[in-house]
């Protein structure tokens, strides 16, 4: 008999539609791995509530947008489990139990959380206990289906390290092995820059090209895209490194000879931003065209899309309940069990 497949758990917060950063940082790997692994793709709505508790409508819309984007890029609900976090409430139970075991210092030291909290503070947003605690909820998400591998963008690395540390701590404390120590797998571009040149394309930073953007918006966003700030005229020698236009060419223009030629001419001041951007917009639109087409096909069948989430969440609950039985037993929360 063949070995059972190893498992993947990964997810996205339903705080908006998906963008090019999600694609190169995460989704592309998910599509590739869905045949090799038993995959659990989580729409983390509990986690989204942490900083969007005042915008439930946005979460509701985004749950469906994310699902459409997943289907559009080629994730297949016949191969992988698409699940909604709140429809598998064992996520909340495991989060609560693990938060008893996790030292507060781990949360305070998490660099990704620090950056995100700073941003909320700068925007004068209320920082909720739930948001502060979200790295622990992510640990629980990963451990609930006993994932071996977590394909995510670079910003998630501290959360996966925390998960590995928690597995060791849990096993040591309760003297029973329940979870694998999961590995991280970062995508081809671990952190795609925003169109405004900020380090990360992010829904919260409003600097995204969305997978669902139409041709005109993509062209317009590329036209506004940040380039080399030191270059004033097309005849000035320009910088290619760190120039978002070329980062995107490298990531999405499959014609590498064309990209190398553009870079060489840019460095010599022999091609202008307008031309570099015109070609980039065309390549991005060619990349997005089949994604848009598949998205439109699924968007015409929203009831089927809802059914996919319902069925996936059901499968998620079965796996989750099996793990929870082991966790409750490891922690000896079994007071009424009769001696056999």
**Site of interaction with ligand ATP (CB under 6 A):** 12-13, 15, 21-22, 25-26, 152-153, 155-156, 190-192, 200-204
Per the CB < 8 A criterion, the answer to whether 121 and 22 are in contact is: no
Which is nearer to ligand ATP, 238 or 312 (by Cβ)?
312
Which is nearer to ligand ATP, 188 or 301 (by Cβ)?
188
Per DSSP (E only), the strands in 80-236 are 81-84, 149-152, 183-186
Q: What are phi and psi of 257, to 5 degrees?
A: -65, -40
- Distance, in Å, from the CA atom of 40 to the CA atom of 5, rounded to the nearest integer, reads 12
**DSSP secondary structure of 270-301:** -S-HHHHHHHHHHHHHHHHHHHHHHHHHHHTT
Which is nearer to ligand ATP, 21 or 238 (by Cβ)?
21
State the minimum distance, in angstroms, from the CB of residue 18 to ligand ATP: 8
State the minimum distance, in angstroms, from the CB of residue 58 to ligand ATP: 10
- The residue whose Cβ lies closest to ligand ATP is 25
User: Which strands form 7-12's sheet, in the order they lie side by side?
Assistant: 81-84, 38-43, 7-12, 149-152, 183-186
State the minimum distance, in angstroms, from the CB of residue 232 to ligand ATP: 29
- Distance, in Å, from the CA atom of 216 to the CA atom of 285, rounded to the nearest integer, reads 9
State the minimum distance, in angstroms, from the CB of residue 264 to ligand ATP: 27
Which is nearer to ligand ATP, 50 or 238 (by Cβ)?
50
State the minimum distance, in angstroms, from the CB of residue 209 to ligand ATP: 11
């Amino acid at each position: 008999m063949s070995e059972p497949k190893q498992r993947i758990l990964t997810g996205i917060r339903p705080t908006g539609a998906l963008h090019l950063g999600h694609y190169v940082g995460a989704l592309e790997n998910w599509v590739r791995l869905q045949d090799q692994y038993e995959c659990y793709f989580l729409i983390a709505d509990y986690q989204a509530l942490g900083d969007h508790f005042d915008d439930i409508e946005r979460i509701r819309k985004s749950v469906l947008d994310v699902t459409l984007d997943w289907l559009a890029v080629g994730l297949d609900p016949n191969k992988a489990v698409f699940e909604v976090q709140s429809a598998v409430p064992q996520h909340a139970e495991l989060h609560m139990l693990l938060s008893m075991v996790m030292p507060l210092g781990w949360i305070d030291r998490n660099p990704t959380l620090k950056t995100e909290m700073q941003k909320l503070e700068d925007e004068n947003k209320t920082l909720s206990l739930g948001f502060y605690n979200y790295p622990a909820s992510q640990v629980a998400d990963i451990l609930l289906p006993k994932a071996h591998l977590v394909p995510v963008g670079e910003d998630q690395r501290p959360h996966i390290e925390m998960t590995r540390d928690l597995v060791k701590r849990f096993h040591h404390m309760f003297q029973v092995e329940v979870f694998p120590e999961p590995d991280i797998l970062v995508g081809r571009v671990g952190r795609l820059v925003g169109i405004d040149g900020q380090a990360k394309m992010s829904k919260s930073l409003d600097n995204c090209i969305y997978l669902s953007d139409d041709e005109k918006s993509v062209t317009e966003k590329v036209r506004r895209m940040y380039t080399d700030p030191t270059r004033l005229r097309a005849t000035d020698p320009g910088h290619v490194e760190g120039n978002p236009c070329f980062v995107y060419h490298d990531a999405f223009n499959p014609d590498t000879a064309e990209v190398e030629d553009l870079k060489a001419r840019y460095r010599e001041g022999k091609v202008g931003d307008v031309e570099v951007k015109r070609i980039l917009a065309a390549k991005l639109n060619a990349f997005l065209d089949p994604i848009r087409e598949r998205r439109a096909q699924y968007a015409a069948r929203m009831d089927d899309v809802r059914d996919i989430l319902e069925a996936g969440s059901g499968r998620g609950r079965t796996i989750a309940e099996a793990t929870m039985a082991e966790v409750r037993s490891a922690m000896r929360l079994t007071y009424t069990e009769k001696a056999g």
